[in-house]
Amino acid sequence: MNVFSGPDSLKDYYDPDKNPPLPLVEIPQHLNPFHGQGVRIYAKMMTMLPAHNVKELPALSMLSAPGAVDPKTKTVIEYSSGSTVISMGIVARILHGIDDTKAYISNKTSESKLKMLQFFGLDLYLFGGPSQPEPTDDRGGIQRARRDAQTCEKTTNPNQYENDLNWNAHRRWTGPQILKQLPNIDVLCAGMGTAGTLTGTATYMKEAKPSVNCIGVCTAPGDRVPGPRSHALLAPVEFPWKKCVDSIVECGSEESFTMSLHLTRNGLVCGPSSGFNLVGLLRYLEQRQSDGTFEGLRNSTTGLIECAFLCCDLPYQYISEYFQKVPASEFHPIKNQNLTGVDVHRYDEAWELRADNLHLHSLLDDLDTVLLDLRDARSSEEWNPKPQNKLPIPLFTLSPDQESPFYNSRLLELQWRELDQVFAGTLDPRLSDKTVVALCHDGDTARIASSILRAKGVTCFSVKGGAQALRSCREEKKVDSPMRETEEEELGRR
């Protein structure tokens, strides 16, 4: 039933051999321009791994192999921009009880990603220079991590860039899963960063089914997609990717982010490198069609061309970049955007008292309570329980017949700004160390005032329904009311 329990529950949960295969899902027809030509495209959802990224498998492979981690090891260090070192931190803790994982990372890493790494409990060390240094460059963080590990027996550096256990993880798990799920696969496509994912998966494919076309995707020169590298940066990578990769295509960031957006909105939640892989696959099919070799991909038995690409990441850490890369037309405008930056403090139902609440009436009768009257002078004469405790602050934006500010975004913005300005700086000394009851006509403006004052440390309540509710409550209960005669009643009496 996919339940993991006992002292080894997490070890079993992270063990691919004790889990069902990761989903392989055909993408919707409208995202597949070749569907009418018998092409079927499947997404291998590597994001469904427990750590939610493809790098979990290499991390597991590099840290679980016999002798990979010395019993004396207290610290794991790795140069990584995100997924690899996150997975290492998790796996090191689960398998070896190692709590100290240091991430050597580029100083050009976005703030949101830095905070994400901190969230996962990683110890961050920033490095200058290229964000994707060559693995053999002595000036880069990759070699620095290796040297630091060599000088301390309590530190290990798995070194994803040179460790064959990286790509062999996909030879062991990813390739066999895909082939078992899609035995008639014709095309496999994956991005190339360290090249471990494609090297391992493609190596297995070439051993088990040599007819599979294995396609590597690189970033276009001068462009950047999180994870993959440009073709030029693959030169120093020593993994045997050249033996198993049949073709390489290049893709840009804008199309990759946009495709990721479309996949996610259609139910396959994935990040930019996943969109990158699908764009690369489609580009490869376009090239085969253009050079007249498209039909050579077709399976003679099924009559179809069955393709798989890897979904390696999730979109959440890159949200701000989507708004930089994806055309603005893809996003609905925010309604009532004028409310951003205003009404920023919390509300609490306990701060809004009903007109028939005994605690409210007790407060109103208390000499230490300040009645903060936000109505104009004429309206405020209708309610004046104790003049010495009354603090009139009439608002320009408040009138008896206006609609609720919570139904009118422009009015809410104006009233909040006016109230925020009124209470800016040093508060009126009459509010210091006092309980305050804010009052308006219908209660909603006073509710805004109580939110602002509470944020400033003032104990403030508002009256739900405002003066109107108080008047009705006094009349219905025949309570001795400090409400004064209306002007019309006074004239009639006279």
Q: How confident is the model at residue 488 (pLDDT cuts 50, 70, 90)?
A: very low
Q: What is the CATH number of domain 349-486?
A: 3.40.250.10
CATH 3.40.250.10 residue spans of the chain: 349-486
The whole-model pTM stands at: 0.85
Q: How confident is the model at residue 336 (pLDDT cuts 50, 70, 90)?
A: very high
pLDDT of the residue at 74: 95
Report how far residue 487's alpha carbon sits from residue 493's, in angstroms, rounded to the nearest whole number: 10
Amino acid identity at 371: L
52's CB contacts (< 8 A; 6+ apart) are 314
- Going by DSSP bridges, is the β-strand pair 75-79/155-156 parallel, antiparallel, or unpaired? parallel
CATH 3.40.50.1100 residue spans of the chain: 19-50+167-330, 56-156
Given phi > 0 = left and psi -120 to 50 = alpha, else beta, which region is 478?
Answer: left
pLDDT of the residue at 272: 96
- Going by DSSP bridges, is the β-strand pair 24-26/39-45 parallel, antiparallel, or unpaired? antiparallel
Class of domain 19-50+167-330: alpha beta
DSSP string, 352-386: EE-TT-HHHHHHHT-TTEEEEE-S-HHHHTT--S-
Alpha helices in 266-404 (DSSP H): 272-290, 319-325, 358-364, 377-380
pLDDT of the residue at 427: 73
295 has pLDDT over 90: yes
Q: How confident is the model at residue 364 (pLDDT cuts 50, 70, 90)?
A: confident
pLDDT of the residue at 483: 41
pLDDT of the residue at 387: 55
Q: What is the CATH number of domain 56-156?
A: 3.40.50.1100
